[in-house]
Structure 1
Amino acid sequence: MSGAGNWVQRIPSPSAYWLNRVLYDVHHDAGQLASYRTDAAAYLSAVPLDDALRTAIRTNDIGAMYLAGANPYLLRAHCLGLHIPEPAFLASLRAVGAKESAHG
């Protein structure tokens, strides 16, 4: 994963594309969601992402996915689809914001 913050890059990176593709596919196709829920690691192994980003998706590291370029709407849909509580979603984004503010 790149150290650049979300929306900093003028053109999204290939990994941001694939991250968003996973988030879209998993929550717009019941078969994809079933495959993801059955074995997320196996599902993600077919996607050209680095291990750190695969881990972020698999462990629902909202902040890491956001910084990697996840579309906020797709990220929110991912959290809703996996029943991640809103306070956890918001806390992860706030933690990223606090880190970014402290560094820049």
Structure 2
Amino acid sequence: MVKRDSLGVPLEPEDRRVVLIDEYHRQIYEGDQYWIDGSGTPYANGSLYQYAEDYVQALTLAETWEMLNDLLKTGETEELLKDTLYEAIIAQGVITTFDLEEAEA
């Protein structure tokens, strides 16, 4: 019960009411913004990164390839992919990656 002053004004805020609980056990309160996937499952804002991680982990190689190709069409991810490729080459070793042979001048 909410305590009120002599004029009937609440002295403390009312408790927020939980209306949904998402797949990751986060509570969604009345008036909160939340997201719904294609099957109608609700997700709180705080669950979006976990949802994305789970979604990507569940992709097949073909689905992953298709999504990457769609991203490449926008041109925005080309630089990111090139940076990732460069880092992989450096990690594996330039000589090993390109099968370079030693020569003397």
Between Structure 1 and Structure 2, which shows a larger proportion of helix residues? Answer: 1
Give me the TM-score of the superposition, normalised by structure 2. Answer: 0.24
**Which structure has greater strand proportion?**
2
More relative contact order, 1 or 2 (CA 8 Å, 6+ apart): 1
